[in-house]
Amino acid sequence: MSPPNNIPYIPSRLDSKVLYEYAGKLLLAKELPLNTPLLQENFTKIPSIKRTLFYQECLRCGNRQSHLFGKIPCAGCNKIHSYCRNCIEMGRVLECEPLYYWIGKEPIWPVFDSPLTWRGTLSKYQLEASKRIVQAVNRLEKELLIWAVCGSGKTEMLFHGIEAGLKQGKRICIATPRADVVRELKPRVQAAFQEVPVQALFAGSDERAGSAPVIIATTHQLLRYVKTFDIMIIDEVDAFPYHHDSTLLFAVNRAKKEKSTTIYLTATPRKNLQMKVAFHRLPHIFVPVRYHGKPLPVPKLRLCFSLKKDLKQNQIPEILKEWLTLRANPNRQVLIFVPTISLANAFAEKHEEFQQLGFISITSVHSEDPLRIEKINQFRSREIDLLVTTTILERGVTFPSVDVIIVDAGHTVFDEAALVQIAGRAGRSSADPTGEVIFLHDGKTEAMASAVRSIEMMNRRGGF
Amino acid sequence: MNCLWCHEAIILDVNWLNILIPSVPRNLCDTCASNLEKINGKRCRKCSRIANIEVCEDCTKWEKYYQGYDVLEFNYSIFQYNEHIKKIIAKWKYRGDYELGNIFNETFKQEFVKKFSHLKNAVVVPIPLSRERLEERCFNQAEMLADFLQIPKVDILTRVHGEKQSKKTRQERIISKNPFSIQQNLNKYAILVDDIYTTGTTLRHAAKLLQMNGCPRVFSYTLVRG
Ligand SMILES: [Zn+2]
Ligand SMILES: [Zn+2]
Ligand SMILES: [Zn+2]
Ligand SMILES: [Zn+2]
């Protein structure tokens, strides 16, 4: 039944649902229902593209690079003007249309007495990190870095910190550069806080309102928020594209409140964060041991002289075949990392060769593969026993029992962080806490050497 | 110069050849350019679909539908509809990244000369968007393509707003009523321009209307054969 339309709109207070949805947002005209007068009163217009003598700036994404602005003969205003190409995936910012910026009051977010429904236990190291996060939240510390090895159970370490925030009615965001990671995190966080609304935001997500106290989002989605979050948790802070794209840093910084706590999570901090740690400019805590208490598998380097020639002809190198047959535990599934999409596809076509080596179901996966989510799930359920992949599977995904080989580990796509992350795919479960990691190369690079050093360093810190 | 699609910087290598002959400014990097696949080899002479027969099954059906006098003389398309061009077109058209259209500027000009320059006294007619759709997108991709060409353009068609073509089945599209209306007569050859030829229904709706209003021959020129 629809309400009778002769009842006047009472502008005393916003319908709370609308309030939670729009508070703290920075929106395009298209994203704002302009027929709600009170909403309009709570938003103010600001120009979308600012011009100075030397550059233009998109006030939604901070872009100032001239090649990321386009010119459009606009049928809306009949003028030729700029638009931002940098943030166009989030809806087009046109120079002739203002942005709408929330100036209304902040809603009061619910206070939860005991929001944590997760009943698992934490390892000694996890517990230490967890306590440190709770402390940072309660004391409103500005930033904290959690430097935790792959497979240390980062998500579980966050739960008590999130709990502490929710008990104080704080607004919490977990941001990560990759949509796949958002998809993976959402059910785990929701299961841990069953009574708390949790929303996942990424390009193409079903949920769009972004009105929950706990938001899990890709860093891009944060472009729609201004000074909104009390606790900002940035997962995989070193991951592409976050460390490449200044837009994402801009988005994260603008989305948090002036007084807020930022928690960075990473297994492989980039040099800039490591420097800040070394100079005591960034409080941090190490988690050097995996949750199952076993050391990280240390990669072995295997030299292959014919590598470049083999790859050029899309041949599987003999050394790779040999390794596949001589593995210590043939029950493990195999992940083969290759540097390019075309190589991934070419290898996966060699069914017969792999079948002769005892593999039945072989496929490839990469970032542009429309079936990638299905394939990852099939690999996890062991319907696929050998998966050829690009760096898309370097992080954020967990398989219980795999051996890993990187073909052409010296290729530039495999930087130190990528190599450490890939090595971290092996030995993830307590049922099979080890696994082989091979770097197949035709000349050792600094990245390979550093990756091995940093894994050994973490193992030493963990007391192994 | 940065690649219009991937934004990587394009490094032009200078050699003795292109020092003397100024090369055409490229707006795609080599990798992105190589991902565009032109329609090569045998194609249906009526609709540009890759085919081993002279006239494909669909076009035969159209002939029959119009009792031997198809309102569209033929369609010529440049590119195959692969994943890459699909993405470019989606971002260009639906996201509204106007500049991406410039990727096709040179090719669209060149192929036009090859295929249509023998037609004297012809005009191009871009397939219009409805007013609502144009307000939403701020530009019409067919208009942009038509503007690349160096022959007169006439905007005599308008389109009434309807549900999205892509949501209809093929059958529904064929029997759906003509979404266009026409402002004036045209007694010249018309070359309809659009970004993509999928079933050919939309183009034939436009062609039919032109034909009924004095146009002696109607062709279509599209970027992609879907
Ligand atoms: Zn922007
Ligand atoms: Zn405009
Ligand atoms: Zn490119
Ligand atoms: Zn045909």
Q: What is the pLDDT of residue A36?
A: 73
Mean pLDDT of A53-75: 95
Mean pLDDT of A15-28: 86
Where does the pLDDT of residue B1 fall: very low under 50, low under 70, confident under 90, or very high at 90 and above? confident
Are residues B20 and B91 located together in one domain of the fold? no
A73, A88, A368 ranked by CB distance to B97: nearest? A88
**Cα(A445) to centroid(ligand 3), Å:** 27
Q: Which carries the bigger pLDDT value, residue A256 or residue A276?
A: A256
Question: In the predicted model, is pLDDT for residue A200 greater than 50?
Answer: yes
Inter-chain CB proximity B98 and A94 less than 8 Å: no
Where does the pLDDT of residue B103 fall: very low under 50, low under 70, confident under 90, or very high at 90 and above? very high
Residue A75 sits at the chain B interface (C-beta within 8 Å): yes
Where does the pLDDT of residue B173 fall: very low under 50, low under 70, confident under 90, or very high at 90 and above? low
Question: In the predicted model, is pLDDT for residue A80 greater than 80?
Answer: yes
Q: What is the pLDDT of residue A1?
A: 36
Distance from the Cα of residue A406 to its chain's centroid: 22
Which residue in B129, B138, B141, B155 has the most chain A C-beta atoms within 10 A of its own C-beta, making it the best mutation to test that interface? B138
| Sign, CA torsion B59/B64/B68/B72 | negative
Measured between beta carbons, which residues in chain A are less than 8 angstroms from residue B85? Answer: none
CA neighbours within 13 Å on the CB side: how many for A361? 10
Measured between beta carbons, which residues in chain B are less than 8 angstroms from residue A75? Answer: 134-135, 137-140
Q: What is the pLDDT of residue A19?
A: 83
Report the gap between the CA of B35 and the closest CA in chain A (Å). Answer: 12
Where does the pLDDT of residue B161 fall: very low under 50, low under 70, confident under 90, or very high at 90 and above? confident
Cβ atoms within 10 Å, residue A453:
11
Q: What is the pLDDT of residue A5?
A: 43
A74, A85, A88 ranked by CB distance to B138: nearest? A74
A76, A83, A89 ranked by CB distance to B135: nearest? A76
Residue A85 sits at the chain B interface (C-beta within 8 Å): yes
| Sign, CA torsion A183/A187/A188/A192 | positive
Residue in A201, A219, A254 with CA at minimum distance from that of residue A24: A254
Fold of A300-461: Rossmann fold (3.40.50)
Which residue in A85, A93, A244 has the most chain B C-beta atoms within 10 A of its own C-beta, making it the best mutation to test that interface? A85
Q: Which carries the bigger pLDDT value, residue B173 or residue A55?
A: A55
Where does the pLDDT of residue A396 fall: very low under 50, low under 70, confident under 90, or very high at 90 and above? confident
Between helix A154-167 and helix A179-192 the angle, nearest 10°, is: 60
**Cα(B89) to centroid(ligand 3), Å:** 15
Measured between beta carbons, which residues in chain A are less than 8 angstroms from residue B88? Answer: none
Residue A71 sits at the chain B interface (C-beta within 8 Å): yes
**Cα(B65) to centroid(ligand 4), Å:** 14
Q: Do you find a cis peptide bond into A187, omega within 30 degrees of 0?
A: no
Where does the pLDDT of residue A9 fall: very low under 50, low under 70, confident under 90, or very high at 90 and above? very low
Query: Which amino acid, A126?
Result: Q
Instruction: Output the domain CATH number for residue B104.
Output: 3.40.50
Residue in A289, A278, A268, A247 with CA at minimum distance from that of residue A85: A247
The nearest alpha carbon in chain A to B96 belongs to A92
What is the number of the ligand closest to the CA of A62? 1
Measured between beta carbons, which residues in chain A are less than 8 angstroms from residue B137? Answer: 75
CB burial of A265-276 (b: ≥16 within 10 Å; e: otherwise) equals bbbbbbeebbeb
Residue A165, C-beta contacts closer than 8 angstroms, at least 6 positions apart = A137, A172, A230, A231
B7, B138, B140 ranked by CB distance to A94: nearest? B138
The nearest alpha carbon in chain B to A79 belongs to B138
Residues in chain A: 464
Q: What is the pLDDT of residue A3?
A: 39
What's the CA gap between A451 and A409, in Å, rounded? 11
Given the structure tokens 């219980």, which residue do they identify? A400
Inter-chain CB proximity B95 and A89 less than 8 Å: yes
> Percent of chain A beyond pLDDT 90?
76
Report pLDDT digits (tens) over A317-369.
999 999 999 999 999 999 999 999 999 999 999 989 999 999 999 999 998 88
Decide: residue A438, CB within 10 A, 0-12 exposed, 13-18 middle, 19+ buried: buried
Are residues B81 and B173 located together in one domain of the fold? yes
Residue A29 sits at the chain B interface (C-beta within 8 Å): no
Q: What is the pLDDT of residue A107?
A: 87
Residue B73 sits at the chain A interface (C-beta within 8 Å): no
Per CATH, A124-287 and A300-461 having the same topology is answered yes
List A residues 381-410 in contact with B (Cβ-Cβ < 8 A): none
Query: Which amino acid, A183?
Result: R
CA-to-CA separations, A443 to A42, A65, A101, A308, A446, in angstroms, rounded: 61, 37, 54, 11, 10
The nearest alpha carbon in chain B to A88 belongs to B95
Are residues B18 and B115 located together in one domain of the fold? no
Are residues B97 and B141 located together in one domain of the fold? yes
**Cα(A338) to centroid(ligand 3), Å:** 21
Q: What is the pLDDT of residue A157?
A: 96
Are residues B12 and B85 located together in one domain of the fold? no
Domains of chain A, by residue range, sit at: 16-102, 124-287, 300-461
Q: What is the pLDDT of residue A4?
A: 39
Mean pLDDT of A163-173: 97
Q: What is the mean pLDDT of chain A?
A: 91
B7, B97, B134 ranked by CB distance to A75: nearest? B134
Mean pLDDT of A20-47: 85
Report pLDDT digits (tens) over B15-58.
665 555 555 567 899 889 999 999 999 999 999 999 999 999 99
Mean pLDDT of A66-75: 96
Question: In the predicted model, is pLDDT for residue B174 greater than 80?
Answer: no
Inter-chain CB proximity B99 and A85 less than 8 Å: yes
Q: What is the pLDDT of residue B25?
A: 62
| A84: β partners | A69
Range of the domain at B89: 40-225
- State the Cα torsion A49-A53-A54-A60 to the nearest 10°: -10
Are residues B193 and B101 located together in one domain of the fold? yes
Q: What is the pLDDT of residue B19?
A: 56
**Cα(A309) to centroid(ligand 4), Å:** 44
Report pLDDT digits (tens) over A84-136.
999 999 999 999 999 999 998 888 899 999 999 999 999 999 999 999 999 99
Residue A206 sits at the chain B interface (C-beta within 8 Å): no
Inter-chain CB proximity A75 and B139 less than 8 Å: yes
Inter-chain CB proximity B83 and A71 less than 8 Å: no
ipTM metric: 0.89
Mean pLDDT of A30-36: 79
Measured between beta carbons, which residues in chain A are less than 8 angstroms from residue B138? Answer: 72, 74-76, 94
Inter-chain CB proximity B138 and A85 less than 8 Å: no
| B190: β partners | B123, B218
* Number of compact structural domains in chain B: 2
Given the structure tokens 């390794």, which residue do they identify? A323
Q: What is the pLDDT of residue A8?
A: 39
Residue A88 sits at the chain B interface (C-beta within 8 Å): yes
Report pLDDT digits (tens) over A258-269.
999 999 999 988
Q: What is the pLDDT of residue B168?
A: 56
- State the Cα torsion A226-A229-A231-A232 to the nearest 10°: -40
What is the number of the ligand closest to the CA of B55? 4
Which residue in B3, B5, B34, B98 has the most chain A C-beta atoms within 10 A of its own C-beta, making it the best mutation to test that interface? B98
Inter-chain CB proximity A94 and B2 less than 8 Å: no
Question: In the predicted model, is pLDDT for residue A394 greater than 60?
Answer: yes
Measured between beta carbons, which residues in chain A are less than 8 angstroms from residue B96? Answer: 72, 83, 88, 92
Structure-token pair, residue A382: 């062991």
Question: In the predicted model, is pLDDT for residue B166 greater than 60?
Answer: no
CB burial of A11-43 (b: ≥16 within 10 Å; e: otherwise) equals eeebeeebbbbbbbbbbbeeebeeeeebbeebb
Measured between beta carbons, which residues in chain B are less than 8 angstroms from residue A92? Answer: 95-97
CA-to-CA separations, B104 to A78, A439, B6, B165, B194, in angstroms, rounded: 24, 42, 15, 24, 13
Q: What is the pLDDT of residue A12?
A: 40
Q: What is the pLDDT of residue A284?
A: 93
Q: What is the pLDDT of residue A100?
A: 93
State the count of interchain CB pairs (< 8 A) between A and B.
40
Are residues B92 and B144 located together in one domain of the fold? yes
Inter-chain CB proximity B139 and A70 less than 8 Å: no
According to CATH, what is the number of the domain A124-287?
A: 3.40.50.300
